Amino acid sequence: MTEFDSFFKSAFTVDNVIFGFDEGDLKVLLIKRGEAPYMGKWALPGYFVYPNEDLDGAANRVLEELTGLRKVYLEQVKTFGAVDRHPFGRVITVAYFSLVKINDYKLQPASIAQKAQWHPVSKVGELAFDHREILDSCLERLKSLVRLRPLGFELLPPHFTLTDLQHLYEAILETELDKRNFRKKILSMDLLVDLRQTQEGVAHRPAKLYRFDRDKYVRFQAEGFNFELKEGKRKESRRNRELAPAL
Amino acid sequence: MTEFDSFFKSAFTVDNVIFGFDEGDLKVLLIKRGEAPYMGKWALPGYFVYPNEDLDGAANRVLEELTGLRKVYLEQVKTFGAVDRHPFGRVITVAYFSLVKINDYKLQPASIAQKAQWHPVSKVGELAFDHREILDSCLERLKSLVRLRPLGFELLPPHFTLTDLQHLYEAILETELDKRNFRKKILSMDLLVDLRQTQEGVAHRPAKLYRFDRDKYVRFQAEGFNFELKEGKRKESRRNRELAPAL
DNA sequence: TCAAAAGTGTTCTTATTACACCCATGG
DNA sequence: CCATGGGTGTAATAAGAACACTTTTGA
């Protein structure tokens, strides 16, 4: 194998873009680096992949060490391998994003977590390494996936109002949605359970609470179904450029 | 840096799923392995990433060494890193797919290319390593991208008929399309140029030839536009599960 | 009684689907 | 003159977009 020895000198890491939703904002969990390189800069949580660990395993480990959460939504997005992206040597990183219910998040005792903080995505500036680019890729992927699959619920508490849900979509898609059309669509999908409870202690008419019916979704998927969310912009008569096959 | 030395013992590769379209079939270019491991098995073209090379560069190199083609459509899909996926050690691989016009493909003199062959995607069986899984991921990605962007044209010769185009979509999407609706949609997108030529020497009414207007597409993109291709199945009144925000 | 957010229907426009016959050519 | 695939339109249905007022609560 000596002919290949020279290739076995690189390392790889995972970096995890952990999204949460709170106070009407999409947020991301960042860590303030306490060591070189990029000391003092905000960075994505990540670490080297251990020799006996696969990629998803490493991403889950990073997430759990930081937040204590297991079994949350996690998706591989893209791998970044610019030659000089890491000063220690050739390090390529596999970027993941995960979706957590921000209230489930408990700061872990691990020292690294002491420096973790939620940042509104819209206010994140420069980051260490190429993490800004990684964040952007994950945001874009989230935006497109959230239209195709009911991921939004991963970010909300188990009980939520339709307005919560609408605000979540508005934050992710960076758009505004029509309240009546949104509700009509969501309810027509028949994936929400009316909990027959309402908010309490709000200074306005209390909203009904719902939960996502995951079992039903799984059943619908099995029947071959698509959850799809389209754009909706039609500012000045957007031309139709959709191509629709007619099986 | 000694604390991290143990991590710098892995290697990474790129594997390239090269798609082409010919005789009504979606095809993939595979190589018959002439050495261990998996000697004699069909595999995806791929190789180690050189120390001074980024990932896209390596994928382009693999493609060019094999086919002589440069500047073809190439897209990173997913990274595979199961611990034992390669017998030589820890090797993770970044999977790409590329789209080539099969007639542009010239067998290169490189020895590796001697063993290359186009296989109809539907007839590919077991492959070396985890390459079957990689192929499946790339196929799935192609299927979803082809609905969102006009990638199909990358697989056709510069001049083509509407029937060619329809057959291409049918092959990729594994479905049948209605001829009239397909043409109506495609032509309404205003991305094809009527070349005012027709086929010659066919034993039926000759079809008109078109080309894809790439410049126009670029302009439309700049104006913010979406090329979108939807499913169209409605066998027994498929329920509407699309969620459409109304900005 | 006021402020604040919840909740609710209809109309218009656009997109999607289903569907059948005549046309041009080579053999 | 036949076989082959090319080419064309319309009507019915479904989805998407626009839009404003009443309700319920706490302060």
Give kind and range of the element (H or E) at residue B16. Answer: strand B11-22
Q: Between chains, do A12 and B92 touch, taking CB under 8 Å as contact?
A: yes
Tokens describing residue A143:
């935006």
Which are the contacts of B153, defined by CB distance < 8 A and separation ≥ 6? Answer: B212, B214
For A143-168, write each residue's pLDDT tens digit: 999 988 999 999 999 999 999 999 99
CA B154 vs. chain centroid, Å, equals 9
* Nearest-angstrom CA–CA distance, A88 and A92: 11
SS3 label, residue B160: strand
User: A133 near A81, Cβ under 8 Å?
Assistant: no
Q: How confident is the model at residue B46 (pLDDT cuts 50, 70, 90)?
A: very high
For B118-139, write each residue's pLDDT tens digit: 999 999 999 999 999 999 999 9
pLDDT (0 to 100) of residue A230:
55
Looking at chain A from residue 137 to 166, which residues have their Cβ under 8 Å from any Cβ of chain B? 147
Give chain A positions within 8 Å (CB) of B239: 190, 225
The 3-state DSSP composition of chain A as helix, strand, coil percent (nearest 5) reads 35, 25, 40
For A84-143, write each residue's pLDDT tens digit: 999 988 999 999 999 999 988 776 666 666 689 999 999 999 999 999 999 999 999 999
Our CA-based measurement puts residue B91 at a distance from the nearest CA of chain A, in whole angstroms, of: 8
Rounded percentage of chain B residues whose pLDDT exceeds 90 = 71
Domain extents in chain B: 5-131, 152-234
Nearest by CB: A175 against B12, B243, B245: B245
Q: What's the predicted TM-score (pTM) here?
A: 0.91
For A5-131, CATH number out of 1.10.260.40, 3.90.320.10, 3.90.79.10, 3.40.190.290 equals: 3.90.79.10
Averaged pLDDT of chain B: 87
Residues facing residue B242 across a β-bridge:
A228
Tell whether B111 is within 8 A of chain A (Cβ).
no
Compute the average pLDDT of residues A72-90.
95
Within 7 Å of a protein beta carbon, the nucleotides of strand C are 3-10, 14-20, 23-27
What sign for the dihedral angle of Cα A9, B88, B131, B113?
positive
* Nearest-angstrom CA–CA distance, A228 and A149: 7
* Reported CATH class of domain B152-234: mainly alpha
Burial of A12 (0-12, 13-18, 19+ CB in 10 A): buried
User: B135 near B17, Cβ under 8 Å?
Assistant: yes
pLDDT at B55 over 50: yes
**Contact flag, residue A234 CB and nucleic strand D, below 7 A:** yes
* Nearest-angstrom CA–CA distance, B166 and B177: 7
Distance B197 CA to C24 C1' (A): 14
For B68-85, write each residue's pLDDT tens digit: 899 999 999 999 999 999
Tell whether A10 is within 8 A of chain B (Cβ).
yes
CA A153 vs. chain centroid, Å, equals 11
Which are the contacts of A84, defined by CB distance < 8 A and separation ≥ 6? Answer: none
